[in-house]
Amino acid sequence: MFQDSVVFEDVAVNFTQEEWALLGPSQKKLYRDVMQETFVNLASIGENWEEKNTEDHKNQGRKLRSHMVERLCERKEGSQFGETISQTPNPKPNKKTFTRVKPYECSVCGKDYMCHSSLNRHMRSHTEHRSYEYHKYGEKSYECKECGKRFSFRSSFRIHERTHTGEKPYKCKQCGKAFSWPSSFQIHERTHTGEKPYECKECGKAFIYHTTFRGHMRMHTGEKPYKCKECGKTFSHPSSFRNHERTHSGEKPYECKQCGKAFRYYQTFQIHERTHTGEKPYQCKQCGKALSCPTSFRSHERIHTGEKPYKCKKCGKAFSFPSSFRKHERIHTGEKPYDCKECGKAFISLPSYRRHMIMHTGNGPYKCKECGKAFDCPSSFQIHERTHTGEKPFECKQCGKAFSCSSSFRMHERTHTGEKPHECKQCGKAFSCSSSVRIHERTHTGEKPYECKQCGKAFSCSSSFRMHERIHTGEKPYECKQCGKAFSFSSSFRMHERTHTGEKPYECKQCGKAFSCSSSFRMHERTHTGEKPYECKQCGKAFSCSSSIRIHERTHTGEKPYECKQCGKAFSCSSSVRMHERTHTGEKPYECKQCDKAFSCSRSFRIHERTHTGEKPYACQQCGKAFKCSRSFRIHERVHSGEKPCECRQCGKIF
């Protein structure tokens, strides 16, 4: 009966994209007017389809509307406004009226959409009857047989099924990558073409993704339309809002089939999958480096461009990464969103909070099988594992020295190049390491953010704080494989290893003397330059070494933090307590290779070595006399200065 019915294809005039682009504005308007009239006529003929129980004609009705929506909703060239179908909530879904509104705008709530299919889906939220389907709004009639999840839309259901079947029907012709969703495929194609169709009128920045573009526009407007009902926090982006909701619900819907790990965010899940496949789809055009994560890729690009798009409104400081910017803002606001339920301590950043929680639980996602130590970060865990295996994959091409950590390797390279990219804004001093400049800046501000809970002592540097804690706990995690000696500090352990290998990697360019320890090398350099950067605020005495000023300050405060466990004697200096302990143990670890004489103190050992070499590194600038021992040199200097610092307590005579 209905086989010869008129359908839209019988009367429609279709243009290709190229043909459509060649039409003028008046021609396009005429086309729309004719097609609109045709559509209204056919729609009125098709009013009865709803009552007829024929699937064929339901499909024809859908097809008719689909074709017309595509043409009638297309934007006019050079105009901000376009023609769209405004769907009015009505029990009869076939009725439509044509009004002149913003592109793809809902006539009920005024919400805008870039795509007519998104508008159609949205309109169903306003009506009690779903278009072309006969069940009430809110009903989820499509149920997944695998996991039981239900869907309102057939298209969403079909896409979900592919997460179980692994089907990826959309394949990229250039790189062969396959996708489950057509939208993901189209967006991926833009990574090859470089197309960025969404351009910001405010700042001119262009985007591949429309969602990213909308989120960017809200940076200009400050709009945050998505509000959490639980905590009241607002968001500018729906995906950020949904991700935040999962922090309350604990939901982790994305599970890795290979290792079973579950994720809260789909993007995190995708990036994790690449750890199994080894895929790195994002390649830098400048240096060729490939990355598995788009955010890491964008951050890497900024290393080349120097771009810092995130600027603090309060202090003007700019950042390359949004996470760094958000953390910085909390310094001004005082916000500490990560609260420990065990002890009540709050943290500015999530990584700091995770590290803190490991202290309570002893459990982290990455646990060392050798020593049981837990880590929250995979890179930290890998570096730690190398302390057990001895692996050092990063080798210096100039001197052959190898490192277990890439950051240590990069810093070492700067000892060859002399590069010091990090400069203090207050005094102009330059550093090869970013952490060193931050620690140095605290010497100007006096900030000491790390406080010991046991003794109340505060530190400007986190590593110094951790090392201090080991004084209380007695922990010595670094053990020498050759002699079994254990150390609290990694630097002490590395220096000790050099006593076995004889390695002295730090060489003075002026006199050629080599050192096994970088701090000893820096102190030695100051004997040539005469630099004494550390000055006591109480008496004005200056020192070339930071440890010397700390020890000196204790002469004013009377502090003696290092106590001998055997006899209870206290010392102001850690080296003094170690030397003292050797009086109990009889240990003499420093042995002269020439005469076999052994010493309990490294300083005495070095002075002894000079009796063989004849070295006298301490020369008087006034008379030229040289000394092998710094103490003898200081006493000699007093001959010229007339200084007599030693006074007899009984008779008052000075010497």
Over residues 578-601, the pLDDT tens digits come to: 888 888 998 888 889 888 888 888
Q: State what percent of residues in the chain have pLDDT above 90.
A: 1
pTM over 0.85: no
Torsion over CA: 456, 457, 461, 464 (sign)? negative
CB contact burial 362-398 (16+ within 10 A = b; e otherwise):
eebebeeeeeebbbbeeebbebbbebeeeeeebeeee
How many Å separate Cα 145 from the centre of its chain? 39
DSSP letter, residue 75: B
Please answer whether residues 70 and 117 qualify as being in contact, where contact means their C-beta atoms are separated by less than 8 angstroms: no
Among 137-141, 164-168, 395-399, 557-561, where is mean pLDDT lowest?
137-141
The residue type at 467: M
What is the reported pLDDT for 159? Answer: 80
**Domain count of the fold of the chain:** 1
Residue 582 counted as domain residue: no
For the cut 70, the answer to whether the pLDDT of residue 87 exceeds it is no
**DSSP symbols for 601-619:** -HHHHHHHHHHHH----EE
Lowest mean pLDDT: which of 26-40, 127-141, 211-225, 274-288?
127-141
Helix (H) / strand (E) element for 436: namely helix 434-445
Residues in the chain, total: 655
pLDDT at 162 over 60: yes
Least trusted range by pLDDT, from 77-86, 332-341, 443-452: 77-86
pLDDT at 104 over 80: no
**Pairing assessment for the beta strands 150-151 and 170-171 based on DSSP bridges:** unpaired
pLDDT confidence tier of residue 2, bands split at 50, 70 and 90: very low
CA angle 202, 208, 213 (to 5 degrees): 40
pLDDT recorded at residue 282: 86
Q: How confident is the model at residue 51, as a pLDDT?
A: 38
Residue 142 domain-assigned (yes or no) = no
Residues 6+ apart with CB under 8 A from 407: none
Which residues does 447 contact at the CB level (< 8 Å), separation at least 6?
460
In a domain, 479, yes or no: no
Predicted local confidence at residue 120, as pLDDT: 67
- Higher local confidence (pLDDT), 239 or 199: 199
Q: 146-180 as b/e, with b when 16 or more CB fall inside 10 Å?
A: eeeeebbeeeebebbbebeeeeeebeeeeeebebb
- Residue 622 near residue 640 (C-beta atoms within 8 A): yes
Q: How many Å separate Cα 626 from the centre of its chain?
A: 53
Is the model's pLDDT at 44 over the cut of 50? no
Bridge partners for 451 per DSSP: 458
Q: Which of 331, 353, 125, 326 is CA-nearest to residue 247? A: 353
Assigned domain for 170 exists: no
Place 114 in a pLDDT band, splitting at 50, 70 and 90: low
Lowest mean pLDDT among 53-57, 289-293, 365-369, 556-560: 53-57
pLDDT above 80: residue 49: no
Confidence of residue 623 (pLDDT cuts 50, 70, 90): very high
Report the chain's mean pLDDT, rounded to a whole number.
77
Q: How far apart are CA 526 and CA 519, in angstroms?
A: 11
* pLDDT band at 233; cut points 50, 70, 90: confident
Of residues 416 and 267, more confidence is placed in 416
Using DSSP, state whether 282 is helix, strand or coil: strand
Collapsing DSSP to helix, strand or coil, 73 comes out as: coil
Residue 117 binned pLDDT confidence (cut-offs 50, 70, 90): low
CA distance linking residue 499 with residue 488, whole number of Å: 17
Longest dimension (CA), the chain: 132
Place of tokens 């910017």: 325
Residue 611 located in a structural domain? no
Q: Give the Cβ contact number of residue 85 at 10 Å.
A: 22
Q: Is residue 569 part of a domain?
A: no
Mean pLDDT to the nearest integer, 418-429? 86
The first and second tokens of residue 120, run together, are: 């159609």
Instruction: Evaluate whether residue 377 is within a structural domain.
Output: yes
Instruction: State residue 567's pLDDT score.
Output: 93
Sequence-ordered strand ranges (E) for 474-541: 478-479, 486-487, 506-507, 514-515, 534-535
> What are the φ and ψ backbone dihedral angles of 151, each rounded to 5 degrees?
-135, 150
CATH number at residue 401: 3.30.160.60
The answer to which of 29-38, 39-48, 130-139, 471-480 has the lowest mean pLDDT is 130-139
Domain range spanning residue 455? Answer: 300-473
The conformation of residue 48, written as its DSSP 8-state character, comes to G
The token pair that represents 35 in the structure block: 């097609």
CA-based Rg of the chain, rounded to a whole angstrom?
37
Name the nearest CA neighbour of 224 among 214, 107, 332: 214
What is the per-residue pLDDT for 116? 60
Q: Look up residue 609 and give its two tokens.
A: 């070595």
Cβ atoms 35, 87 nearer than 8 A: no
Q: Can you say how many angstroms the Cα of residue 460 is from the centroid of all Cα atoms in its chain?
A: 23
Q: Would you say residue 379 lies in a domain?
A: yes
